[in-house]
Every structure is written in structure tokens, then in C-alpha cells.
Amino acid sequence: MKLTKLFLLILTISLFSITTQGQLSSDLVKENNNEKEDTIKPIESSSKLYFIATQSLPLDKKGTLYLNDNFVEGIVYDYDNEPLATSVRYRFADDEMQIFHLGQEKSVYPQKVHKIIFKNKGGDQIFIPAEYIEDNVKVFGYFELMSDGKTKILKAYRKGKNDKINTFFYVMKDDSLAYKLKTKKSSVIKFLEDKKDPITRYIAKNNINVKDMKDLEKLLNYYDSLKK
């Protein structure tokens, strides 16, 4: 009888200890999450807003204009790389990134931000501004970041015929100009021509398919390793 009471006492103490540790762990997780959230200021509280965005103008086009029709939660990293919480939307039809502020749609200057994160339900989507050549002129635009190595893979969204969303892939070396990439082995080798011989051997040895995103990322990571 005494052994039974002793066993029950030990069991009660053990359960209390487990419950207490679980509660402490939960509280620590909440505390850490709050600390992370506290480091991201609401864009309304930043004096930089008027330096990174201006009033958005209506677009005289029909059909699908937005990559995501509604504004979603997001984070804008400004020119000082400071994260600012706001609502974001991408009007891909004219390559305009928008934020929603004080009941108004505003257009973000691509030259004034480092990146913009969309907090989508299916996962974060990261866009970065980059300079590229269009009609022999250097322009800034937004690209979805597909691979974030020294040599980056970028995805561009453009409005096509019959209300179709066309996508194109670009590559960018060391944060320089972004170049449209034809997913052909010869085109990729030409882009990486400063390491042509090892790149050609690597493609052949590893049976790299440059049309496959994972293979292309693997190839560019190898290219980056050659420059170390």
C-alpha cells in the first residue's frame, strides 16, 4: 500500500514537471516570435515611406493586370535594408509593385528597395529589383528571386496576348545587370564563358538539363564555386 502511494506521488511530480517544461518552452517560442515581429516596423511609423513610394496611377489596360488580385501581408526592405511591414500587390502588366497606405494604392520605386516579400498562404514569395536591358536601354524592374546564389536566377512576369501571363528567366552575376536567359545549353555556356571549359565538362559529366530549374541552380552554384 505504501509502495502504491509512493508510486502515485512520483508519477504526479513527473507529470507536473513535464507540463511545466512544456509551458516554459511554449512561452519561450512565443517570446522569441514576438521579438522577431517587434524588429519589423509598420510602414506607417517610418519616415522613409515618402522616399520609397509615390501615388499609383490607374492603368489603361484590360484583362489580368495583377499577379495577385488582392493585397497580401508583406515586408518591404528599404534602401537601408530596414524591414517595413505593409500590404503588397504586384501589377505585373506594367511591372509596378504596389503598397496600400492610408486607403491609397502607392507605387514603390524599384531603385529605393532591396527586396519585397509576399507572405502568401502557400509560402513566401520574394521579389527583388534589378537593372536589365530593354530596347537597348537600361531599366529597373522587378523579378521573382528563384535562386539566391552569387549568380542569381530571376523570373520575370509579363503580360502576353489573349490575357496570358508570360514568364521569362533571367540570370544576374554578382548583383550586376540581369540578362534574359535562353534555356539552351549553348546559351548558358556562352553566359558562363569565363569558365567555359569546366562548365562544359560539368554539364556532360552530370547530365545537366538547363531547362530544369534544379539542374540550372546546381550548375550556377558550381560556377560560383569556381570563382572562389
- For 64-84, what is each residue's pLDDT tens digit? 999 989 999 999 999 999 999
**What mean pLDDT comes out for the span 163-175?**
91
pLDDT at position 135 is 85
User: Are 165 and 59 found together in one domain?
Assistant: yes
| Environment class of 31 (CB within 10 Å of its CB; exposed 0-12, middle 13-18, buried 19+) | exposed
Q: In this structure, are 78 and 177 located in the same domain?
A: yes
Residue 149, C-beta contacts closer than 8 angstroms, at least 6 positions apart: 217, 220, 221, 224
Considering the domain architecture, whether residues 101 and 174 belong to the same structural domain is answered as: yes
pTM of the model: 0.79
Residues 67 and 173 in one domain: yes
Number of domains in the chain: 3
**Shared domain check, 209 and 175:** no
Same domain, 117 and 193: no
Tell me which residue has cell 500590404: 87
pLDDT in tens, 7-58: 444 444 444 333 433 332 233 233 334 435 457 888 888 888 889 999 999 9
Does residue 158 share a domain with residue 106?
A: yes
- Write out pLDDT tens, residues 114-143: 999 999 988 999 999 999 988 889 999 999
Q: Is 23 found in the same domain as 105?
A: no
The answer to whether the CB of 51 falls within 8 A of the CB of 112 is yes
Q: Which domain holds residue 135?
A: 42-181
How much is the CA Rg of the chain, to the nearest whole Å?
A: 25
The answer on 170 and 87 residing in a single domain is yes
Contact 16, 22 (CB under 8 A): no
